[in-house]
Structure 1
């Protein structure tokens, strides 16, 4: 064993024991670093999949989650686009909104979904299999018929529900009114 006050091993056995302790310490450190790396990798993956901005992003995500891929980003950009349309040209606010919109990929998904919904219920006179399929494709699922109305839910989230008549009496205006109500509630 090493003499007191002298940390250097003297015999071959002491050298081997010292290296064995060092290897053991390093193995523990490697395991801790692997766990930390896994945690950080999962956090990074969650952050990247959330659509949150990287760098010094303008806006940070809240606790809401996407009901379809990229939903929150698309809704926020849609709101910014509408705000930009209502800004007076040549103002700082208009320039900021124009710049943010120009530098973010935007697929206009809320508008596309709204148009598909309008088409699906344009002349709504009842829940046909075609209407039901189109609504389902848009994340709107009908619950079983209750009385004269059908309750529909957006992506199963009970905060977003609406009622549809089982059989529309005025298919000319009823479908337009129904579409407007569902678009306002869901998109």
Structure 2
């Protein structure tokens, strides 16, 4: 009898832990008028080619391994033609990578709060101005993205810089 009772409890717990089914039609009915996300089809992309030596600051190349940048790009799924919002982008190491991946058909919003000006100096203008034509610089708090048109962002990232990156050995 005690085994039957244990089996009933185990079955109930297993059912309670099961993932609920997703009813897309019901979810859409709850959000009338909601814009569908941009339809950018996933593509196989060779992220490794984004790391070749060129006109980027030498310090970028030093940070790619520490930041695991190739893996981050692949995980984020950034692809040509996308629009990416890079929150608190700092000096723009990832902004530059996103810019190169999305290409001329895409756009990257590089957001930094005004408080970052004190320690960024001219790093943002040096990186972007005259180099990354598909990057739009935003100076706002991270929760004020009014300059990004609604429904246009395919990816929004908030990636820590090396000072906040934990390195596990």
Q: TM-score, normalised by structure 1?
A: 0.22
Q: Relative contact order, CA 8 A, sep 6+: which one is greater?
A: 2
Question: Higher helix proportion, which one?
Answer: 1
